[in-house]
Amino acid sequence: MADYQFPGQNQWSEKPAIGTGEGESPLAPAPQNEITMRTMASDVASMKEMGGGDPRPYTPSVTPIPQTPPIQNSPATPAAPTTVNQTQITEPPVVPLPPKKSGNVFIVLAVIIIIIGLGTIGYFYVYPKLISTDTQEVVVEEPKPQEPETPAIIATTTPEASTSTIEVPPVSGLGSHISLFKTPADFSSEITLAAETITAVKDALKGATVEVPVFKETVFKSVDGKILGQSKLIPLFLPSFITASSSPLFDEDFTLFTYTDQKGVWPGIILNAKIETLASAQEEAKKIEANLDWRSLFIVDPGKEQTWKDGKVGTTAARYISFATKGNALSYTWFNNTLLISTSYQGAQDAAKKLGF
């Protein structure tokens, strides 16, 4: 580029020396850099010389910038320490704490122990002495066991001064009754006997015939309200079977029932033999066949008897005897230690079912 000279300015072909003062050598002027102006044409020519091509417009490539989650300050990360001017911090005044009084606890415990000790001594030693002076010892005598009642002897006197004695039999009987039937009878009743005779018992058992058979259990009581056991009633029916020696072989409580149908009322008896004397009881039961005492069991005359035979009541072996009147039969059957005596075959069948056999 050509140098132009502007008016009013001095141009030097050579750079003049710069003076420094008196007696000093002049300083050499600073070298001037050559200034050239760049143009578009000069840049294109320069690029061709260096092997480049024509210039093209620049289109920047779009590169996706990966998004990173913002960094959250962890609560565990300690913050940068802050410089604090020590002169600006005012420390609170230190208040000294009062010393712990550990001795007070021991004093309280000692007082409590002393109070408990004094209370114990007063309750067990002082209090009984104070009470003993105001109260008297009460002696409770235990009642002596009552001796069994003995027959009372009542003496009566007459104007002639003659004396006679009357023996009163002791009261006997059961306080309660437990039926031997596992399935209850159709009906049950309690009857008080004015007289303990076979006639009174039969009169109480009599009843009208029915179209539909009825199975009934009856409990007899004495005039004093006691339940009559087997030792009182069975000898009325079978005096040769239940005696003073054979009665203890059976439980005193027994079950008496009646089976009523169109032909009449048919009684039956159930006894429980004691296990330890079962063999003896079974031998005693065979005496039923030895005589005709069993006729007392019938309320209605069954007619002429036949002979004793083997049979069954349900599935259990039995001994029975039939009569001239058809449908009547006396039988006795052992179900383990239970003896069933019935004046009716159908009555025996129903009684066995209610016994659970």
pLDDT in tens, 14-29: 455 555 555 555 555 6
Per-residue pLDDT band for 171 (boundaries 50, 70, 90) equals: very low
Tens digits of residue pLDDT in 129-155: 666 544 444 444 555 555 444 444 333
For residue 42, give the 3-state DSSP assignment. Answer: helix
pTM here is: 0.52
Where do runs of H (alpha helix) occur along the chain?
Answer: 40-49, 103-121, 127-132, 198-205, 230-237, 278-285, 345-355
| 283-324 confidence digits (pLDDT tens) | 999 989 988 888 889 998 888 889 999 999 989 999 999 988
The reported pLDDT for the residue numbered 27 is 57
| Sign of the C-alpha dihedral computed for residues 98, 103, 105 and 111 taken in this order | negative
Mean pLDDT, rounded, for 110-139? 70
Residue 209 has pLDDT above 60, yes or no: yes
User: What residues pair up with 339 in beta bridges, in sequence order?
Assistant: 271, 334
Whole-number pLDDT of residue 303: 85
Q: pLDDT for 187-202, tens place per residue?
A: 999 999 999 899 999 9
Select from 245, 229, 294, 292 the least CA-distant residue to 266: 294
The model's pLDDT over 75-107, given as tens digits with 9 standing for 90+, comes to 444 544 554 454 444 555 555 555 555 567 778
